């Protein structure tokens, strides 16, 4: 009863395997690339696709798991913290190259150019903070002995608009990161040099630019102004699919199917002895097949217990719930293939990712059900007419059945196959 697509997704989910490096429980999810090892369970977010760049990002994160310290030392300066992240990325990339895991330069170049454009956004003279961010991107590429990677880094440095002597310092940092890839001490050393290069402009970096800011624990975030123009996809939040460790669903549906057989214990149709000989009746359990997507936003007023009730009766069906906040959202797989989560996560209150969640739903095989009040939103949980229209279109084209409550969904699952 598990359809091919479900099996495919399971396989994709299996491409994240940090426990092969560091045994133990991991909270795995889709993302751009992030590892946290100072929490329980440890966290990893990385793309799960099979393309060279996604594979490389996963290898990079495994590199962090193996070679980075369990927790990065706390530093007061955000600038230094960000520089540490960039230099550590460079060290990991260099170690990977040393192992023969090459950076996919073409994809890297495309990605880096996108990042550069996001930071610059048509501005000719960059703020010192933006220059620092671009420089950090260049440094983080690492792989200093790879000429192709070096060219990409040089291109970013050009875009950063640094003075020649500043570029020389940055190149020195890159060289240090390659030569001393053996220890985290090298990372700290390189980061201090990098931070010192931009340190004088610290105040401007922190307060002067609203377009970029340094995230907690490293990484750069581009803060865009609210713009109601755009496509349904660009106005929707970024969606992360979260799969949890699932336990066996001990309360599958108990719909009974009957089948006649020529062997058995209970003779039900003795008359058939004269025809096909199928005189015995076999009883079998059958489950509803399909996917239930639940709008887990605040307007639905659902509790984790409500969702657990659906997961419990789901049999081998897939049950997922989504909610969002700000410009991102999470889609949690609550039940799949006869297993359900131990604990249903809390809602993020908003919708934000209705469009990507529905797009995920319509790719699923079998029947598709969306439990929702149809109050759909995009980034910052705003109502955008284009998103409302897009959701209606996806529902119509994807032959999604819309139900208003979890009770209705439960009745449908318990009743077996639904009619459209």
Q: H-type helices in 99-239, by residue range? A: 105-120, 128-141, 147-160, 164-179, 184-199, 202-203, 232-235
- Pairing between strand 212-214 and 238-243? unpaired
Of 261 and 326, CB closest to other proteins: 261
Shortest Å distance, C-beta 199 to other proteins: 22
CA-to-CA separations, 48 to 234, 305, 343, in angstroms, rounded: 21, 30, 24
Check binding of 264 to other proteins (CB under 8 A).
Answer: yes
Terminal CA-CA length for the chain: 20
Q: Which of 99, 123, 222, 383 binds other proteins (CB under 8 A)?
A: 99
Q: Please, what is the minimum distance in Å from the beta carbon of residue 24 to other proteins?
A: 5
Asked if 355 and 394 touch (Cβ cutoff 8 Å), the reply is yes
Nearer of residues 244 and 325 to other proteins, judged by Cβ: 244
262 binds other proteins (CB under 8 A): yes
Q: Among 39, 145, 196, 267, which residue interacts with other proteins (rule: CB under 8 A)? A: 267
Q: What are phi and psi of 293, to 5 degrees?
A: -105, 125
Q: If you ran DSSP here, which 8-state letter would residue 299 be given? A: G
Distance of alpha carbon 15 from alpha carbon 55, whole angstroms: 9
- What is the per-residue binding string for other proteins in 48-77, x denoting contact by CB under 8 A? --x----x--xx--xx-xxx----------
Neighbouring CB atoms inside 10 A of 253's CB total 21
For the CB of residue 396, give the shortest distance to other proteins in the complex, in Å. Answer: 33
Q: Find out whether 223 and 210 touch, Cβ atoms under 8 Å.
A: yes
Helix, coil or strand: residue 101: coil
- 3: tokens are 């359809």
Q: Answer yes or no whether residue 186 interacts with other proteins by CB under 8 A.
A: yes
Among 158, 200, 247, 414, binds other proteins (CB under 8 A): 247
Is residue 176 a contact point for other proteins (CB under 8 A)?
A: yes
- Considering only 139, 143, 194, 279, the residue that binds other proteins (CB under 8 A) is 279
From residue 365, alpha-carbon distances to 115, 183, 398 in Å are: 36, 48, 11
CB of 384 to other proteins, least distance (A): 36
Residues whose CB falls within 8 Å of the CB of residue 336, separated by 6 or more in sequence, listed in order: 6, 10, 246, 318, 319
Q: Contact region for other proteins (CB under 8 A) — 158-166, 245-253, 298-306, 343-351?
A: 245-253
Task: For residue 265, state whether it binds other proteins (rule: CB under 8 A).
Answer: yes
The reply on whether position 7 binds other proteins by CB under 8 A is no
Comparison of 196 and 273: residue with beta carbon closer to other proteins: 273
Find the binding residues for other proteins in span 281-310 (CB under 8 A): 282-285
Helix (H) or strand (E) holding 284: strand 280-286
Q: Which of 106, 117, 151, 179 binds other proteins (CB under 8 A)?
A: 179
Q: Which of 4, 40, 74, 100 binds other proteins (CB under 8 A)?
A: 100
Q: Which is nearer to other proteins, 59 or 169 (CB)?
A: 59
Helix (H, G, I), strand (E, B) or coil at 259: strand
E strand or H helix at 116: helix 105-120
User: Are 364 and 292 in contact, with CB atoms under 8 Å apart?
Assistant: no
Cβ atoms < 10 Å from Cβ of 111: 16
Q: How far is CA 292 from the centre of its chain?
A: 20
Report how far residue 155's alpha carbon sits from residue 138's, in angstroms, rounded to the nearest whole number: 8
Name the residue with tokens 């108990």: 254
Pick from 25, 38, 221, 414 the residue near other proteins by CB under 8 A. 25
CB of 356 to other proteins, least distance (A): 23
Q: Does 168 bind other proteins (CB under 8 A)?
A: no
Query: In the set 3, 5, 19, 107, which binds other proteins (CB under 8 A)?
Result: 19
Contact by Cβ (8 Å): 295, 352: no
Q: Least CB distance from residue 282 to other proteins, whole Å?
A: 5
Is 363 a binding residue for other proteins by CB under 8 A? The answer is no
Nearer to other proteins (CB atom), residue 20 or residue 210? 20
**# chain residues binding other proteins, by CB under 8 A:** 58
The answer to whether residue 23 forms part of the interface with other proteins (CB under 8 A) is yes
C-alpha separations of 226 from 171, 223, 326, 385 in Å: 37, 9, 11, 15
Residues of this chain that bind other proteins (CB under 8 A) = 11-12, 14-17, 19-26, 50, 55, 58-59, 62-63, 65-67, 95-96, 98-101, 175-176, 179-183, 186, 245-250, 254, 262-265, 267, 273, 277, 279-280, 282-285, 339
């Amino acid at each position: 009863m598990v359809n091919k697509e479900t099996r495919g997704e399971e396989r994709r989910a299996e491409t994240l395997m940090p426990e092969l490096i560091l045994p133990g429980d991991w909270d795995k999810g889709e993302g751009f690339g992030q590892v946290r090892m100072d929490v329980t369970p440890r966290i990893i977010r990385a793309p799960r696709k099979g393309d060279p760049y996604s594979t490389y990002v996963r290898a990079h994160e495994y590199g962090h798991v193996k070679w980075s310290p369990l927790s990065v030392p706390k530093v007061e300066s955000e600038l230094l913290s960000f520089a540490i992240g960039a230099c550590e990325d460079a060290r990991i990339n260099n170690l990977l190259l040393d192992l023969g895991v090459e950076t996919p330069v073409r994809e890297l170049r495309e990605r880096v150019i996108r990042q550069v454009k996001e930071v610059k956004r048509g501005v000719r003279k960059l703020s010192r903070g933006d220059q620092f961010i671009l420089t950090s991107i260049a440094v983080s590429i690492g792989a200093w002995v790879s000429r192709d990677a070096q060219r990409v880094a040089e291109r970013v440095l050009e875009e950063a608009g640094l003075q020649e002597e500043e570029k020389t310092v940055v190149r020195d940092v890159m060289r240090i990161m390659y030569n001393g890839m053996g220890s985290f001490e090298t990372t700290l050393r390189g980061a201090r040099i990098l931070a010192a290069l931009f340190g004088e402009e610290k105040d401007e970096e922190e307060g002067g630019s609203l377009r970029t800011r340094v995230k907690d624990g490293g990484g750069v975030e581009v803060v865009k102004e609210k713009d109601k123009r755009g496509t349904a996809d660009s106005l929707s939040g970024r969606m992360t699919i979260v799969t949890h460790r699932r336990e066996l669903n001990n309360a599958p549906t108990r719909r009974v199917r009957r089948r006649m057989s020529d062997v058995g214990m209970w003779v039900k149709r003795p008359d058939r002895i004269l025809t096909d000989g199928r005189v015995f009746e076999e009883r079998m359990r059958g489950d509803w097949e399909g996917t239930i997507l639940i709008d887990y936003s605040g307007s639905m007023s659902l509790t984790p217990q409500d969702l657990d009730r659906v997961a419990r009766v789901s049999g081998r069906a897939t049950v997922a719930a989504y909610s969002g906040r700000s410009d991102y959202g999470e889609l949690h797989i609550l039940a799949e293939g006869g297993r359900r989560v131990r604990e249903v996560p809390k809602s993020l209150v908003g919708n934000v990712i209705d469009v990507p969640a529905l797009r995920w739903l319509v790719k699923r095989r079998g029947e598709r059900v969306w439990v929702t009040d149809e109050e759909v939103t995009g980034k910052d949980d705003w109502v955008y007419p284009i998103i409302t229209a897009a959701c209606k279109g996806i529902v119509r084209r994807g032959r999604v059945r819309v139900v208003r409550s979890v009770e209705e969904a439960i009745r449908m699952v318990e009743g077996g196959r639904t009619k459209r």
